[in-house]
Amino acid sequence: MAISTGLGMEKLFPDDKALDAVKNMTTYFKRADYADGVSAGVEAIAAQTGDPQ
């Protein structure tokens, strides 16, 4: 699994932060807790980019 950011997002959400989000999501996915895994990923992206959700 990967999160691919475009050039416009690279400054707000760099590759190392994307990798951290994927690692966090994977812990949920391994337990078949897909909803919480996706939520964790969205929250990580929103927190890093300043989107208040």
Per-residue pLDDT at 51: 65
> Does residue 39 lie within any of the structural domains?
yes
> Does residue 21 lie within any of the structural domains?
yes
> Does residue 9 lie within any of the structural domains?
no
Amino acid, single-letter form, for residue 44: A
* Tokens, residue 33: 């807790």
The tally of CA atoms less than 13 A away on the side-chain side of residue 17 is 15
Cα–Cα distances (Å) from 48 to 30, 33, 53, in that order, read: 24, 23, 12
Count of structural domains, the chain: 1
For 1-53, what is each residue's pLDDT tens digit? 889 888 888 888 999 999 999 999 999 999 999 999 999 999 999 998 886 65
Cα–Cα distances (Å) from 39 to 6, 24, 34, 46, 48, in that order, read: 21, 10, 8, 10, 14
